Amino acid sequence: MLESLNESKKLLPERVAEQIISLIADRELKAGDKLPNEFDMAQQLSVGRGTIREAVKILVSRNILEIRRGCGTFVCEKPGVVDDPLGFAFVKDKKRLGLDLCEVRMIIEPEIAALAAERATSEEIEELQRIEDEVKELCDKEEPHMHKDIEFHEMLAKMSKNMIMPNIIPVIQTGISLFINITDYSLTKETVRTHQMIVDAIRERCPQAAKDAMIEHLASNQDKIERLSGL
């Protein structure tokens, strides 16, 4: 009864926005896939094109859809994930932010690594190795590698087969990217070493070893940030 009352209070565009989300799920549309055009969606959902436009605006504001001018409407690369929902960009003390994020990562990511060791497919493990090889190549050249490091941790989240983790990790990584410049290249060798330990443990299907390797990886990052922060 309560659910039906709440549903009746929703404006039509909001209800249509939920129907579009159902359409995305039912058709198993993935990140980057194109939605039917405005006319077709209006026919399918039995509403006017103006309502479709309003519903799409709602979903764009939620980072579920994106409109590409002249091309159409597409599912976002990370549907529903806003780059900085916790306002990390507005935190003045970036070193303090870095330390606090390290604590959060230490709580979450060792368990992600352990789950990945139990649940990842062979294909996913090889993809993780490929990403790590690219991290190593960039580190060897002393070129920026943050984007690949982020990809490594996001891949681990996916491999955990926990539907929540791939949405949490990008938020944490966004915060990390705000202070990563203070670490320079001094952590690169340690990053490569501990990343490979994580990959090896997952390949061997050893959750405890994967967990321990992730703890070592995160601890090395935290120690460096503490030294730079003078804490």
CA distance 183 to 176: 11
> Which domains are delineated in the chain?
2-75 (1.10.10.10), 88-229 (1.20.120.530)
pLDDT in tens, 116-168: 999 999 999 999 999 999 999 988 888 878 788 889 999 999 999 999 999 88
Q: How far is CA 50 from CA 10, 12, 42, 47, 102, in A?
A: 17, 11, 9, 8, 46
Q: What is the pLDDT of residues 168-177, one digit of tens each?
A: 888 887 777 6
Q: Which candidate, 76, 18, 90, 89, places its Cα nearest to that of 47? A: 18
Burial of 194 (C-beta count, 10 Å sphere; 0-12/13-18/19+): buried
Tell me how far apart the alpha carbons of residues 158 and 222 are, in angstroms, rounded to a whole number. 24
Please tell me the predicted confidence (pLDDT) of residue 94: 75
- Do 41 and 20 contact (CB within 8 A), yes or no? yes
> 88-124 pLDDT, tens per residue?
766 778 778 888 888 999 999 999 999 999 999 999 9
Q: For 183-208, what is each residue's pLDDT tens digit?
A: 455 567 888 999 999 999 999 999 99
Q: What is the pLDDT of residue 9?
A: 44
